[in-house]
Each structure stands twice: as structure tokens, then as C-alpha cells.
């Protein structure tokens, strides 16, 4: 019995010692984790604010929005507004399609929704759809001779109905829906069509006005929403911009204030070596049909493969052969629900589009 009691007491002491050791180890781990946490918090507290720099030099279709959305996503995922992070956008565009620039402005609103301050710098022009983007900014600056404004909507469609009639050509369009087609190049223009188109234009214009007014509430919208444009100083006097300075000075000011500047640009992921050789650019050779149905550039291997195919078949490659064969296989695709009106209406000021400036007179 005495031996059993000694054995029991020894086992209890072992358990007590083991529990004490476990407790000590846990306390040491907690202390170490706490120290690491303090280090992380201290590092985050001492980190300099980061300002991410974007560029948007837009065309008529605002095709650059595909790149912008990727860049904005990356910034929103990594920036921290509580640490003073922000975004600078260098903007230069004369506007374009309603849908394209509406989406571009929506991408900038994502930055605001994330709580990040947004500064937009207009270098040369932010007209029409470009100003729709610019007015989203918390701070809007422009160079002294930048052009701003052109708050308006335009649609212009050539009409060859009379000429076709003189040539004995009748173009027939079958629609379902009273206003499925109004003004088209081949349809006789009626007062009803023109009235409906004007109604559509006014509706888009009111949306544009409301969008600008909501984001710049101190702006006299009736005074500036006339389709006119103004140079820097006149735009400043009308409240279209907050200050006149270059993007370089804005970035230098942020740097002097202790911020770090990161330029953000999205590039497509690199492809493998073989696909790179097949798709490497060549100035004069195109593939029979690109992956999206359009011509795509070929490299040396692609050119050799195309020539080999032509040699063994005795046929010349047809750039649209696959598309034509597909259409013959599915003639029902010719009857489609298609509406191109989205591209007919534009937040565009053609006087300031970069592509047309080269053809105009200089300043």
C-alpha cells in the first residue's frame, strides 16, 4: 500500500510539473507573438503614405478603361486609407462614347468608395466624357492652358437615303418595336425620328449634368453645361477646376510631404516561349484569323506554318474563311438582336480629340 501511494504521489507530481512547463511555454509563445505584433503595429505606424500614380490618355471608345479597371483593382486591394494612401490620375482625353466614359468614371468612383483620396491632373484636355471622369476627383488641378468643359452630348449620322433612291437602291430594315431604329444612314428621316433622337439626347444630357453637379455641388451647372470649353484660367473662374498647376508639381509636392510614389501600370501576363514566338509581332504578316475574329500578328514560326499550309493545299489563306464557314453553318445567326445606338451618342468634343489635333491649326 505504501509503495502504491508513493507511485501515485510521483505521478501527480509529474503531471504538475508537465502542466507548469506547458504553461511556461505558452506564456513564452504569447510573449513572443505579442512582441511580433508590436513590431508589426510599429512598422505600420511608421510607414510613409503611398500615393499610386495612374495615367489615362483616352481615345473615342475609352478603350483604355480595360487597363484602368485592372489598375484600380490592384490599388483598392493593397492601399490603406488609414495610413494616408491616395491616388493621382494624370488625365488627357477629349471624350467619346457615353458607355465607354461612363464606365471609366465608374472605375474612378471605386477609388472614392475605398476611402482613398483622389487627385486628378489634367495636362492638356478633359472635355466632355473626359470632364465626366475629371469631376470625380476630390482635388482637380489643370495646367494653365488645359482645356476643360464641353458638358454636352452629340450624335451625328450621315444619311444617303436620297442618293440611294436616285440610284434605284432600296434598303429595307425590318424591326419589331416602334423606336428600334430611328435615324440610320439608309432610312428616310422623318420628323418623328428626329424628335425621338432629340429626346434621347436630352435624357443623356440631363444624366451628365446631374452627375457633374453631384460631384461638384458648388458649380453653377446652368452656366457651364452649355457644351462650351474653357482654358485653364477661365475654367478656374467658373469652378470647373480647383487650381492651376502641372502634374509634375503635384507629384513633387506629395514627395516633399514624405509620401512614396508608385506608378501603376497593368500589363498582360507573359506567355510561354513557343506562344511568344508564334505571336511575336511582324510588320507585314497576319494570321488567317485571330482568337477574337480579327487579324492577329504572326512571328517567324507562324509565317512558316502559314506558308507551308498554303503550299500543300494550293490555296491562299482567306483572312475571313473560318468566319464565313461558321456563318454558312449557322445562317440563323444572321437574324440577331443588335443595337448599335450605344456608340451613336457621345460625350465627345471633336475640337480637342488628340487624333484630330494633328490635323488642325496649332496654338
Active site residues: 128, 180
| H or E segment and range at residue 265 | none
Q: Which grid cell is 62? A: 475609352
d(CA 177, CA 130): 34
From the CB of residue 329, how many other CB atoms can be counted at a distance below 10 Å? 8
DSSP state for residue 313 in the 8-state scheme: H
Answer whether 70's CB lies under 8 Å from 107's CB.
no
Q: Determine whether 224 is exposed, middle or buried from the number of CB atoms within 10 Å of its CB (0-12, 13-18, 19+).
A: buried
Q: At what angle do helices 98-113 and 65-78 cross, to 10 degrees?
A: 10
Kindly give the residue spans of alpha helices, DSSP state H, lying in 137-176. 161-166
Q: Which grid cell is 357? A: 489635333
What phi and psi, each to the nearest 5 degrees, are found at residue 269?
-55, 145
d(CA 132, CA 278): 41
Amino acid at each position: 500500500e505504501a509503495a502504491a501511494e508513493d507511485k501515485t504521489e510521483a505521478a501527480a507530481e509529474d503531471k504538475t510539473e508537465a502542466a507548469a512547463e506547458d504553461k511556461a511555454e505558452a506564456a513564452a509563445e504569447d510573449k513572443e507573438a505579442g512582441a511580433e505584433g508590436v513590431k508589426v503595429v510599429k512598422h505600420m505606424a511608421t510607414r510613409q503614405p503611398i500615393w499610386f500614380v495612374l495615367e489615362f490618355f483616352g481615345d473615342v471608345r475609352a478603350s483604355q478603361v480595360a487597363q484602368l479597371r485592372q489598375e484600380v483593382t490592384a490599388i483598392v486591394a493593397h492601399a490603406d486609407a488609414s495610413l494616408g494612401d491616395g491616388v493621382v490620375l494624370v488625365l488627357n482625353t477629349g471624350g467619346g462614347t457615353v458607355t465607354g466614359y461612363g464606365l471609366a468614371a465608374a472605375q474612378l468612383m471605386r477609388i472614392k468608395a475605398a476611402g482613398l483620396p483622389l487627385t486628378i491632373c489634367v495636362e492638356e484636355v478633359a472635355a466632355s466624357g473626359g470632364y465626366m471622369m475629371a469631376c470625380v476627383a476630390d482635388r482637380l488641378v489643370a495646367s494653365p492652358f488645359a482645356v476643360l468643359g464641353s458638358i454636352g452630348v452629340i450624335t451625328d449620322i450621315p444619311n444617303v437615303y436620297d442618293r440611294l433612291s436616285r440610284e434605284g437602291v432600296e434598303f429595307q430594315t425590318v424591326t419589331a418595336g416602334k423606336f428600334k431604329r430611328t435615324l440610320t444612314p439608309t432610312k428616310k428621316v422623318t420628323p418623328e425620328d428626329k424628335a425621338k433622337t432629340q429626346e434621347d439626347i436630352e435624357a443623356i444630357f440631363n444624366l451628365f449634368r446631374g452627375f457633374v453637379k453631384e460631384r461638384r455641388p458648388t458649380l453653377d451647372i446652368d452656366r457651364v453645361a452649355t457644351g462650351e470649353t474653357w482654358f485653364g484660367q477661365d475654367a478656374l473662374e467658373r469652378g470647373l477646376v480647383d487650381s492651376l498647376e502641372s502634374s509634375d508639381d503635384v507629384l513633387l509636392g506629395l514627395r516633399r510631404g514624405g509620401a512614396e510614389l508608385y506608378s501603376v501600370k497593368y500589363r498582360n501576363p507573359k506567355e510561354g516561349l513557343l506562344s511568344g514566338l508564334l505571336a511575336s509581332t511582324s510588320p507585314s504578316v497576319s494570321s488567317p484569323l485571330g482568337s477574337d475574329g480579327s487579324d492577329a500578328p504572326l512571328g517567324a514560326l507562324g509565317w512558316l506554318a502559314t506558308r507551308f499550309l498554303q503550299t500543300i493545299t494550293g490555296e491562299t489563306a482567306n483572312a475571313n474563311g473560318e468566319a464565313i464557314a461558321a456563318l454558312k453553318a449557322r445562317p440563323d445567326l444572321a437574324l440577331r438582336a443588335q443595337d448599335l445606338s450605344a456608340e451613336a451618342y457621345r460625350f465627345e468634343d471633336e475640337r480637342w480629340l488628340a487624333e484630330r489635333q494633328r490635323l488642325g491649326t496649332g496654338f
